[in-house]
Structure 1
């Protein structure tokens, strides 16, 4: 009962606002799918569009939609040139000093978009793994072991087994060949030691090879794994020294600057930033996760981009209202609360591929 009375009071406040000299509200927006989707002919749809239509119809608020870029829209709202902004604005303390916020209707977070690696880049990365210092050390040690036992076997066998271990430089090659065949357990049988010391040398090579090869295999696997992990991004701070992009005057823009990102390129919207990322003019694009995911999913020209599994900078979305329209903000907020508590809100979110955070 009390809630009904409060709603009636706020509804009267909304009507009072309309009668004070502003019969039609100016509502600013900029396309931000899936919240605001601009179709052919200027027709609008999306989560926020649906929500605003419900609120305005229930409160009896006449309005005119005004398309702006994001930065211009915020400036206009702060200056009182528009009455309401229906974009998913992140509630921040700085913004709250210059505009009113309705109650939040959705929680999100920022993420990072990067260009997918081409097949050539993946092959190049794999080949480079074999030139890591630890990897090369292992192979040099292997070569030393093969040479050591090959020369040792040749020294013991060259007089009593000259048909397998020939004298001179050819014999050194025979020893190396024998040690490689023995260590790899190929076992061609074309060369074999016949002296006691030659056979002891062969036993030493077998046992040393058994221990060393297992260690070398582990070293190779470790080197490849470490190199792969080094090329994967585990945190947003890995991009602090890279050239990244975001939307001008957005919460992501403020987040990057307060976290000391050194090279930030700003754009008027999401699409120009993603296009520059595709052209590799920037190394990453950082923005609200649901917006960039939806854009990449729906735009076939952006399939070369991928969203990293990173979540940071939790954000609470709300409508923005002119600072001088407190009563209007309260009326809108109450109606938003009632709508998002209804089962229909979950249906609308799922229709656009979203769910509560």
Structure 2
């Protein structure tokens, strides 16, 4: 009796079963080795690398040559892996994402941030750069009374005014107690004497001149002297604080952080992850094809703020808007850049391994410094 008959299988069925066992074992072996057969076949031809201009990560020169942080990183990996490739550029981020998801390009190398919706469509390599969204505004801020009005109606301003009034009332009451029986100017009825005393205290505080009026008793004059000197210091401190607050408001403009975006005109790049973030924050915005057009809208007075990936904003401002646009010292909504590939691409693992090796090398630090400066942001 054969082995197959012992298992209760007919010869034909046994051949089919053996074939299935062989295919499953082969699939498992390929899966464990990262699909080398598929990778070898892919590397036999010229790889199509999709990209999109997004300085300083991907930039196309007048001669048609591509450079930038992402491009340089890919070139270095490709040289190590002996990968032959050619670039294919798209006009928008959504178009580049679609090209990678559909397999039109073998890998997308640009300024692509990793998001959940994109992860559902394609695969990402390990991240090679982390940053966040930045906010660009006009240098010096817009000429507006809004910052001044917010300062004058703020709780701290009202508290300071009430404190000064309270001090004047207390000192006026003390002066009245000391002078009401020795000074006819503060004498008479309680209402007349007390109101005269408080009025004198207020006039003395503002240093507008008190004429011949004033306390005549020694205790009253001591209180008056302390009050006049103290009120000078108090008024000076109060004036300096208000002036400083108004100056800062004027210099920084009406946008100082994320919370101010809901009150002003905001711009974002069409199809970018910035739009998703602004929608989640319930912030209205106007879309622009690129960061340069959005920053130009700020310069023309059509926008109050433009939100985009901070390093991309910093690069564009340094190149074209150095004297008219400033980048606030604010970073929110952490972003991670990576290369994108079609789902299941055999390129993902080897590229990720090489990428992680490179971003820990001295070469990477020099690259970031060359494009972004000291801080790498």
- TM-score normalised by L of structure 2: 0.68
CA contact (8 A) 1:107 1:356 kept: no
Please list the CA deviations of residues 28-59 of structure 1 after superposition, one character each: whole Å capped at 9, or x if unmatched. Answer: 22222221122222222111111111222333
Contact kept in structure 1, 2:57 and 2:69, CA below 8 Å: yes
**Residue in structure 2 matched with residue 167 of structure 1 by the alignment:** none
For the structure 1 residues 204 and 341, does the alpha-carbon distance in structure 2 shift closer, same or farther, using more than 3 Å as the test? closer
Contact 2:266 2:307 (8 Å CA) reproduced? yes
1:235-287 per-position Cα deviation (integer Å, ceiling 9, x unaligned): 312212322111222222211112221x1112222211111122121211111
Counterpart check, 1:305 vs 2:294: no
Superposition pairs for residues 171-186 of structure 1, below 5 Å? 184=207
Greater than 4 Å deviation, 4+ residue runs? 8-13, 122-144, 182-187, 195-205, 225-234, 354-357
2:275 corresponds to? 253
**Two-structure CA RMSD over aligned residues (Å):** 4.3
Distance 1:121 1:235, change over 3 A: closer
Q: Which residue pairs with 2:354 in the alignment? A: 335
Contact 2:49–2:105 (CA<8 Å) still a contact in 1? Answer: yes
How many residue pairs were aligned? 318
Deviations 1:82-127 (A, max 9, x none): 2221012111222111011011111111111111126x94999679
- Greater relative contact order (CA < 8 Å, ≥ 6 in sequence): 1
Sort the Cα spacing of 1:105 and 1:124 in 2 relative to 1 into closer, same or farther, 3 A: closer
Could you tell me whether the CA contact under 8 Å between 2:36 and 2:346 is conserved in 1? no
What TM-score does the superposition give when structure 1 sets the normalisation length? 0.71
**Structural mapping, 1:137-286, within 5 Å:** 184=207, 197=216, 205-227=224-246, 233=255, 235-261=257-283, 263-286=284-307
Matching residue within 83, 100, 119 for 1:96: 119
- Answer with 1 or 2: which has the greater Rg: 2
Please give the alpha-carbon distance, in whole angstroms, between the structure 2 residues aligned to 1:200 and 1:183: 22
Q: Residues 141 and 24 of structure 1: is their aligned pair in 2 closer, same or farther, counting only changes over 3 Å?
A: same
Gaps of 5+ in 2: 1-30, 170-174, 186-199
**Selected match of 1:113 from 112, 120, 136:** 136
Which among 39, 43, 65 is matched to residue 14 of structure 1? 39
Residues 77 and 83 in structure 1, CA contact (< 8 A), matched pair in contact too: yes
Unaligned runs of 5+ in 1: 1-5, 157-175
> Is the 8 Å Cα contact of residues 276 and 282 (structure 1) preserved in structure 2?
yes
Give secondary structure in 2 for the equivalent of 1:27. Answer: strand
Structure 1's 97 and 183: CA in aligned 2 closer, same or farther, altered over 3 A?
closer
SS of equivalent to 1:97 = helix
